[in-house]
Chains A and B, each alone.
Chain A
Amino acid sequence: EAQVTQNPRYLITVTGKKLTVTCSQNMNHEYMSWYRQDPGLGLRQIYYSMNVEVTDKGDVPEGYKVSRKEKRNFPLILESPSPNQTSLYFCASSTHRTGVLADTQYFGPGTRLTVL
């Protein structure tokens, strides 16, 4: 079954304690992305990756890191989490075909993070 998986689904942590949220896709997609979802703001892009070893900042990258060592995995790292990073996080993937617009993004189930 084609899917994007994220772990953990729920996480409560304390300020400053490093954490990693994993994301994996089994569709051989080149493009992967992380979003955060906050009430009234919709989804905002944190980081994206167009292929292995190619990553770039989205609209709200401060306080986050990512890596793309393998095509299927795109972990999100919070080196020193703060309460303003409490949010619902989504990983997404899609193909990235040059010259083709409107590739559908496939989303993971979400990770609800609370930073105390």
Chain B
Amino acid sequence: GDSVTQMEGPVTLSEEAFLTINCTYTATGYPSLFWYVQYPGEGLQLLLKATKADDKGSNKGFEATYRKETTSFHLEKGSVQVSDSAVYFCALSMKTSYDKVIFGPGTSLSVIP
């Protein structure tokens, strides 16, 4: 079945370091891909998304490119801040009878000053 795999972490980085969180997916068909972020004590919120191959989603300095050939959607940021400390979820959406969303297990990121 459809699934999302991502590095689980936890990931600990120093402020201003480069961030990559890997995400790969398995899907029959052409899903849309998402990154959601969950700050401590809060619900998930959409960070960025891409709906077709080679699309790049971007927001708040984060970027991810939909790579159909490698079935990947890796999240990157050039210079992380302490305020980026959160759990990041990769997800895919398939159009069946409704927009079923499948989430990865989440990656915890801690950024230290």
A interface residue numbers (CB < 8 A to B): 4, 31, 35, 40-45, 48, 50, 90, 92, 94, 96, 101-110
Decide: B46 and A43 in contact? CB cutoff 8 A.
Answer: no
Residues of A contacting B46 with CB < 8 Å? 104-105
Decide: B44 and A31 in contact? CB cutoff 8 A.
Answer: no
Decide: B44 and A107 in contact? CB cutoff 8 A.
Answer: yes
* Contact with A90, one of B34, B41, B44 (Cβ below 8 angstroms): B44
Q: Given A42-B105, A43-B89, is A104 in contact with B99 using a C-beta cutoff of 8 Å?
A: no
A110 to B41, CA, bound (A): 8
Residues of A contacting B95 with CB < 8 Å? 101
Tier of interface size on chain B: 20 to 34
Q: Is the interface of A mostly helix, strand, loop or mixed?
A: strand
Q: Distance in Å from the Cβ of A1 to the closest Cβ of chain B? A: 14
Residues of B contacting A41 with CB < 8 Å? 105
Decide: B98 and A42 in contact? CB cutoff 8 A.
Answer: no
Q: Distance in Å from the Cβ of A106 to the closest Cβ of chain B? A: 8
At the interface, yes or no: B103 with Cβ under 8 Å from chain A? yes
B32, B42, B44, B104: residue with the most chain A Cβ atoms closer than 10 Å: B44
Q: Given A4-B43, A40-B8, A102-B51, is A94 in contact with B103 using a C-beta cutoff of 8 Å?
A: no
Decide: A107 and B43 in contact? CB cutoff 8 A.
Answer: yes
Q: Given A40-B8, A90-B44, is A102 in contact with B104 using a C-beta cutoff of 8 Å?
A: no
* Contact with B104, one of A35, A42, A50, A92 (Cβ below 8 angstroms): A42
